[in-house]
Structure 1
Amino acid sequence: MATLKDVAALAHVDVSTVSRALNNKAYVHPETKRRILKAVKQLGYAPNLVAKSLRQGKRHTIGVVVPSINISIFGEIVQGMEEQARNLGYSILISNTMDDPQIERECLARMRTGLVDGIVIASTGENMRLLADIASENIAIIQIVRNQSPQFDCVAADYYECGYEATQYLVKLGCRHIGLINGHGHIRPYEERYQGYKKALAKAHLQEYVVAASKDGSQYFEDGYQATKELLKMVPSLDAIMVATDLQALGVIRAVKKAGLSVPEDVRIISLTGHPVGATLETAMTSMQVPSREMGECATKLMIERIESEDHSAIRHQQIVFQTMLMTRETT
């Protein structure tokens, strides 16, 4: 990696001149500055922002890495975070990964260069070693929604209980063929909700029917639509569907109606990650409501405590779990 000295040597100036030219703190002859910038480009020099931030103190900025803020739980979480951060004198820097491990890796690599004091992340689970490296550089890490490792603080919900309670509710309504449209099992909330669903079905001596949504989490409506078609083909007598998000549930409703069935007369539907939009639909969505804004506020307070602590090693990791709440509406 090129250094300030390397740039100075190539441009035939001293280090202080390079520093003045790059920071625009004093006059540097235009021809000299041109040579310096040419040397910077040729060497691929990047300033050590970490060292600079340490000299200048905290940046009062929190990095937020989430799959997407587009009408999802993460949008609500980010709103809660931003409001709380502003009240406490901090700002946030948001990166959307679309649950792509490579994009996540690139976002984390940029943030670790000194842009932020800490990172709140809903991780894919594929870059845990990188997160450990970043934490070793005294950059605080807090997991949000997805508890992928006990090595870091986490603010999440009780997804097992969420899946269990939703399934029990449908069983009590008389449903006997309950399908689950879930995400991929390597992401903890999906796995834990599945385990709750499985436990409730076993207790009622019922069979499970599970379809995983596509790996590309950006096509919510289409995911719900295609997964429902698959479930109905698998189980023509399907009488209930549990789905990961409200937006996927819109696709579920469309597929059910296209199959000539009615909601909730023929098929009852529950979203396992309630969003405020669900209550405003033409057929209001029954959902397991997640206190997303409160989770965002909690994660922000915890992060700022970590950032402002003098001795990070003395702090015990916290695993904070919020409870979900069943909101019964028209789809059941």
Structure 2
Amino acid sequence: MANIQQVAQKAGVSVATVSRVINHAESVAPKTRLKVENAIKVLNYEPSMLGRNLRNSESRLLIVLIPSISNPFYTEVINGIQNTAIANNYNILLGETDSNPQRENIYFNMIKNKLADGVISMDPAVNMKKLNDLAEKHPVILCSEYVEGGSIPYVTIDNELAAYHAVKHLIKLGNKKIALINSDEKFLYARQRRRGYERALREFDLPIREEMIYHTKQLDFQDGVQAMRMLLQLNQKPSAVFAVSDTLAIGALKEINASGLHVPDDMAIVGFDKISFSNMTNPTLTTVSQPMYKMGCTAANMLINRISGNNVESILLDHELVIRESTMG
């Protein structure tokens, strides 16, 4: 494989001139540029990205932290991040943290050691103290998950308002006993979505019943199945269910069907996220649509701006309630 010295020799110029052409410097005369470009073509020379990045003290690599690769919510967000990154000559490294501090440290150290230029965190259980420390010297953006009153810029939706719209829809259909399948309330989104649920109930003078609120440990389908199993054992069964994630809602739907009840006639159900599977269930799932792809694009643009030294403001994107068969009588 040809090296930069051979290219310089063939073009009859210095190595520094070849370097300037490769780095698109404007100080090279058009005639000289053409000679260098021809030499590069003839010799089939490929410049070392690593060497170039080291000289510029950049890696052109963005780290994206997610808690679990199995949740389909992250797929569309990652697509948005990756497409935007590639369009800006960056690559991404996907880090599944499994909410494990040791794993997080590996990725944080990559940033500190300049092996990556910045990080987008989507992990609700990330160690915020360490992330804040990192953000003091390095570019960090929070995506979907964030901290109220924190200093790290984020992109998300109004979770409370979205949950309020979902539950209000169920109430308008005549439901008075609405269960909530929520995840762990140590996560901000879970607390916000519960607030939206309670706000809708209060607005229509409906009681908030603790037994109608079920907390899951994870967001897996099986957690939704288990939650629904418990709710169906109540003396007063709910007539509708709001789940804070489509994966939980689809698990709940499976259990309702298995118990011989019919959705939406016996029980209506609403999910959250609008993952691709939500349109494949029987019946199809009413859900809150998060603009996942746009969220990913926005997070990547924010991070690239931050890397360039620009100030970045937090962004709140719009949500939409997508009404499908699971709430249509």
Q: Which category of TM-score, normalised to the shorter sequence, fits these structures? A: 0.7 to 0.9
| 1:318 counterpart (289, 313, 317) | 313
User: More displaced, 181-190 or 64-73?
Assistant: 64-73
Counterpart of 1:81 in structure 2 is 81
Counterpart of 1:165 in structure 2 is 165
Q: Is the 8 A contact 1:125 1:148 kept in 2?
A: no
Counterpart of 1:228 in structure 2 is 228
How far does residue 123 in structure 1 lie from its aligned partner after superposition?
Answer: 3.1
Structure 2 CA distance, aligned partners of 1:199 and 1:323?
19
Structure 2 CA distance, aligned partners of 1:54 and 1:153?
28
Distance 1:185 1:135, change over 3 A: same
Structure 2 CA distance, aligned partners of 1:120 and 1:126?
11
3-state SS in 2 of match to 1:180: strand
Structure 1 CA distance, aligned partners of 2:99 and 2:228?
22
Structure 1 CA distance, aligned partners of 2:66 and 2:177?
34
Look up the equivalent residue of 2:215 and give its one-letter code: A
Counterpart of 2:199 in structure 1 is 199
1:268 and 2:265 equivalent? Answer: no
Please list every run of 5 or more consecutive structure 1 residues that lacks an aligned counterpart in the other structure: 1-51
- Listed one character per residue, the Cα deviations across residues 241-271 of structure 1 (whole Å, up to 9, x for unaligned) are 1112222222101211222211111111111
Structure 2 CA distance, aligned partners of 1:144 and 1:268?
31
Look up the equivalent residue of 2:115 and give its one-letter code: L
3-state SS in 2 of match to 1:331: helix
- Listed one character per residue, the Cα deviations across residues 6-44 of structure 1 (whole Å, up to 9, x for unaligned) are xxxxxxxxxxxxxxxxxxxxxxxxxxxxxxxxxxxxxxx
- Listed one character per residue, the Cα deviations across residues 260-310 of structure 1 (whole Å, up to 9, x for unaligned) are 21111111111122112211223211100000000100111111011012x
Give the TM-score normalised by the residue count of structure 2.
0.77
Structure 1 CA distance, aligned partners of 2:161 and 2:244?
14
- State the superposition RMSD in angstroms: 2.0
Look up the equivalent residue of 2:87 and give its one-letter code: N
Structure 2 CA distance, aligned partners of 1:100 and 1:205?
42
Counterpart of 1:142 in structure 2 is 141
Please list every run of 5 or more consecutive structure 2 residues that lacks an aligned counterpart in the other structure: 1-51
3-state SS in 2 of match to 1:233: coil
1:213 and 2:244 equivalent? Answer: no
Look up the equivalent residue of 2:113 and give its one-letter code: T
3-state SS in 1 of match to 2:214: strand
Give the TM-score normalised by the residue count of structure 1.
0.77
Q: Is the 8 A contact 2:58 2:114 kept in 1?
A: no
Q: Is the 8 A contact 1:146 1:188 kept in 2?
A: yes
Structure 1 residues 182-197: aligned runs within 5 Å: 182-197=182-197
Q: Is the 8 A contact 2:99 2:126 kept in 1?
A: no
Counterpart of 2:239 in structure 1 is 239
3-state SS in 2 of match to 1:156: strand
Q: Is the 8 A contact 2:63 2:94 kept in 1?
A: yes
3-state SS in 2 of match to 1:168: helix
3-state SS in 2 of match to 1:132: helix
Structure 1 residues 49-128: aligned runs within 5 Å: 56-128=56-128
3-state SS in 1 of match to 2:206: coil
Distance 1:269 1:89, change over 3 A: same
How far does residue 106 in structure 1 lie from its aligned partner after superposition?
Answer: 4.3
Structure 2 CA distance, aligned partners of 1:95 and 1:89?
20
Q: Is the 8 A contact 1:163 1:194 kept in 2?
A: yes
Counterpart of 2:322 in structure 1 is 327
Structure 1 residues 270-285: aligned runs within 5 Å: 270-285=270-285
Identity %: 27
How far does residue 124 in structure 1 lie from its aligned partner after superposition?
Answer: 3.0
Distance 1:252 1:260, change over 3 A: same
3-state SS in 2 of match to 1:179: strand
3-state SS in 1 of match to 2:113: coil
Distance 1:153 1:269, change over 3 A: same
